[in-house]
């Protein structure tokens, strides 16, 4: 029973984009367009080159921003404000997800490569405001992005996450490697599985996955 494998967990860490909402809403598409436009204007390149650089920096540095900072000395503040200025109309509340998160035992946090203010807007649109003990963005990791070890070390130290009693939920399999190395339970949340030694579980439905954990915990409490 999968719930038994999480019986020791009391620290729950959730990614945001394409994890706490389904990727089919394509919210991140808006951000990608704004990132490309920003790179075009800032570096004076055409769209094709901006897209090439954006993908290159994502592969080599973890995020477009990290590449821009390391290779061009870009100030992260204006960039982050601009690329997250999007519409949240595509998001809908998920009351079942909110209920299951609320019933998880222990401390629950959001940790995203976006910004905390952006994350709060997403959570509000999903009906998840107030469900988490803390929300951390890339600014809380000194602008180091997941999957960098320094990013996890900084945020986890700030929050007091204890990896041996923690679980991480992420859509990007790269971002589960360090949590696995630290001793956390890892859950890949995505439409398709990507088998890897550092991924313990896969689900294409976070709400259903958490329901299995919460129901098992509730049943144990009634005995």
- What is the domain partition of the chain in residue ranges? 2-23+93-222, 27-83
Q: Would you state the pLDDT for residue 216?
A: 62
Q: Would you state the pLDDT for residue 218?
A: 52
Q: Is 223 exposed, middle or buried, given 0-12, 13-18 or 19+ CB atoms closer than 10 A? A: exposed
> How many degrees, rounded to 5, is the angle at CA 89 between CA 188 and CA 24?
35
| Percentages (nearest 5) of helix, strand, coil residues in the chain | 55, 10, 35
Q: How many of the other CB atoms lie within 10 Å of CB of 97? A: 21
| CA–centroid distance for 139 within its chain | 14
Q: Which of 178, 181, 186, 176 is nearest to 209 (CA)?
A: 186
Domain 2-23+93-222 has CATH 1.10.3480.10: no
One CATH from 1.50.10.10, 3.90.950.20, 3.90.1150.10, 1.10.150.450 for 27-83:
1.10.150.450
Q: Would you state the pLDDT for residue 2?
A: 87
- Mean pLDDT, consecutive 10-residue stretches, the chain (223 aa), reads 92 98 94 95 96 94 93 94 96 97 97 97 98 98 96 98 98 97 98 96 97 72 46
Q: What is the pTM of this model?
A: 0.93
């Amino acid at each position: 029973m999968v719930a038994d494998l999480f019986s020791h967990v009391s620290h729950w860490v959730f990614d945001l984009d394409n994890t706490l909402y389904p990727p089919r809403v394509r919210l991140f598409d808006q951000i990608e367009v704004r990132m490309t436009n920003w790179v075009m204007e800032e570096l004076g390149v055409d769209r094709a080159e901006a897209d090439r650089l954006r993908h290159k920096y994502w592969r080599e540095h973890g995020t477009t921003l990290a590449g821009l900072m390391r290779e061009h000395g870009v100030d992260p503040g204006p960039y982050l404000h601009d690329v997250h200025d999007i519409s949240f109309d595509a998001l809908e509340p998920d009351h079942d997800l909110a209920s299951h998160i609320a019933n998880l035992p222990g401390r629950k946090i959001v940790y995203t490569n976006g910004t905390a203010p952006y994350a709060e807007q997403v959570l509000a649109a999903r009906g998840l405001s107030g469900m988490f003990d803390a929300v951390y963005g890339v600014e809380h990791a000194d602008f180091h992005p997941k999957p960098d070890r320094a990013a996890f070390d900084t945020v986890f130290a700030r929050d007091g996450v204890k990896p041996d009693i923690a679980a991480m939920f992420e859509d990007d399999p790269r971002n589960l490697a360090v949590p696995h190395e630290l001793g956390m339970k890892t859950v890949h949340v995505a439409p398709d599985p990507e088998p890897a030694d550092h991924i313990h579980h896969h689900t294409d439905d976070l709400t259903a996955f958490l329901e299995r954990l919460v129901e098992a915990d509730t049943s144990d409490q009634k005995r």
